Structure 1
Amino acid sequence: MIAVHGSTVDIPTQDGTADAYLAHPDDGTPHPAVLFYMDAFGLRPHLKKMADRLASAGYTVLVPNVFYRHGRAPVVELPEFINPAERPEIFKSLRPAAETLTPEAAVRDAGAYLDWLAASPLTTDGPAGVTGYCMGAGLALRTAGTHPDRVAAVAGFHGAYLATEAPDSPHLLADRITAELYFGHADQDATLPPEQINRLEDALTAAGVAHHTEVYAGARHGFTQADTAMYDAEATERHWKALLDLLARAL
């Protein structure tokens, strides 16, 4: 395993300053950039561990606190082990932070994150990879659709509301995407029912986007998150293989 260095950094945006976690191989050389979008529970120790693992594969990984408009991470106090069934108030406490991130704000932020990575001496020249979890999968899809020349690969896992009937649904950006995409969906996921999976697949196919979609049998929404009750170790390892294979091909 490659030794990894992690630190907190501040990213200037059009709307303020986003705090973020940065992980990169501790070898003093630049590596391909990966923008890592958090799930709804936010930037916390588990996501930092995931970023470290990705960095150990040879990438410079930036995990922004996309709720920075509401405050620095952690924006709400979370238990060490998150079980929404036992703590339904967690989602209620997160709602004000989530409401600060409109689709328009997300697109502005994406440009700032990509700018910061491109300017960093820790990254190589060329487009970035993007990965996202839960709500982060939608952010990753928006980033690919609004900054197509700057994104070469996108992965989304247990993504939420990726292809709704809303006029600003992320899947409607499919015809602008030039990156290669991979999606690992949970088959027990109320936030992405089969009709949305099919709608996303149809949009990507019609737009001629290079993509691969898999539905992880038996997996629940949030299956990659080891600090939650939704965690699935087998599905998580499958996700790592898919993600690393995609980044190796595209970056």
Structure 2
Amino acid sequence: MSERIEVETPAGAMPAHLWLPSTGRGPGVLLLQEIFGVSPYIRRRAEDLAALGYVVLAPEVFWRIGISEIANGPSMLEEAMAALGRLDWDAAVADSTLALEALRARPEVANGTGVVGFCFGGGLGYAVVAGAPADALVSFYGSTLPNLVEAVPSVSTPSQHHFGESDSYIPMDQVTRIREQVTSGGAPVDFRTYPGADHAFDNDDFVNHDPVASEQAWSATTDWLTRTLPTG
């Protein structure tokens, strides 16, 4: 079960969702949404992370435009892209950074904090740790990473990246460039690609879901996270 909380920002209170592990305490993970908001899929991944022993905080990054989540359906991608077009990127980075700070300050959080982001959230997480280093970052097909790689020199956070080799939005030449850039900064990097997988391959509510790539990527995520940000 999650608890609805608020993260204070200069523009007001940002809604967020908090999951606790069975122990009640553990390292913190800031979970950053896809363009579909804090959707049922994101909530399931939050539950998965809490089951591993993490305190998970998922802010509603689209709160400034009045959107919590975009319902599954034939128009979900169109609606999500329209919402993304209304978003203030700098405000989203600032809000997510405040959420990371709020997570760190919670009494349930001990022994470090990390960031896990999907699609829009994968790039957003990279931007957050560029300004506010964390102990770990997992980025799934970060859609804004092609425009963010200039931030590499300021990223000292160990990171893991996942990309499909048949991504409709991030072609392999851009994936290759991202790999070259993120692995040149000195911080530890685990970079993985998945043959035949399209964008958003981990989202089992979306048409591009690839069960094989999803299972492989999540297994790699849990293994890397529990080594980089141990819960015990």
TM-score, scaled to structure 1: 0.85
CA displacement at 1:31 relative to structure 2? 0.5
- Residue 179 of structure 2 aligns with which residue? 201
The one-letter amino acid of 1:25's match is: P
TM-score calculated relative to the size of structure 2: 0.91
The structural deviation recorded for 1:67 is: 0.4
- Partner-residue secondary structure (3-state), 1:99: helix
Q: Report SS of the residue matched to 1:32.
A: strand
Whole-Å separation in 1 of the counterparts to 2:81 and 2:14: 18
Q: Identity over aligned residues, as a percent?
A: 30
Q: What SS class does the counterpart of residue 57 from structure 2 fall into? A: strand
Cα drift, residue 90 of structure 1: 3.0
Please list the CA deviations of residues 186-209 of structure 1 after superposition, one character each: whole Å capped at 9, or x if unmatched.
111122112211221221233223
Extract unaligned runs of 5+ from structure 1: 164-168
Structure 1 partner of 2:19: 23
Mark the runs of 5 or more structure 2 residues left unpaired by the alignment: none
Aligned to 1:47: 42
Match for residue 240 of structure 1?
A: 218
1:99 positional shift: 3.2
**One of 108, 121, 124 as aligned partner of 1:136:** 121
Q: CA RMSD in A?
A: 1.7
Report the number of matched residues: 229
Q: What is the alpha-carbon distance in structure 2 between the residues aligned to residue 33 and residue 14 of structure 1?
A: 23
Q: Distance in 1 between matches of 2:5 and 2:18?
A: 7
Q: Which amino acid aligns with 1:91?
A: L
The answer on 1:119 being equivalent to 2:105 is yes
TM-fit CA distance, 1:100: 4.2
What is the aligned partner in structure 1 of residue 189 from structure 2? 211
The 1-side partners of 2:164 and 2:194 are apart by 5
Query: Does the residue aligned with 2:151 lie in a helix, a strand or coil?
Result: helix
Say yes or no: does 1:153 pair with 2:136: yes
**Closer, same or farther in 2 for the Cα pair 1:49/1:206, shift >3 Å?**
closer
- Deviation of the 1:229 alpha carbon: 1.3
Q: Distance in 2 between matches of 1:234 and 1:52?
A: 21
Residues in 1 aligned to 2:41 and 2:218: alpha-carbon distance in whole angstroms: 15
Deviation digits for residues 169-217 of structure 1, max 9, x if unmatched?
2211111111111111011112211221122122123322311211111
Amino acid at match of 1:41: F
Distance 2:145 2:97 in 1: 20
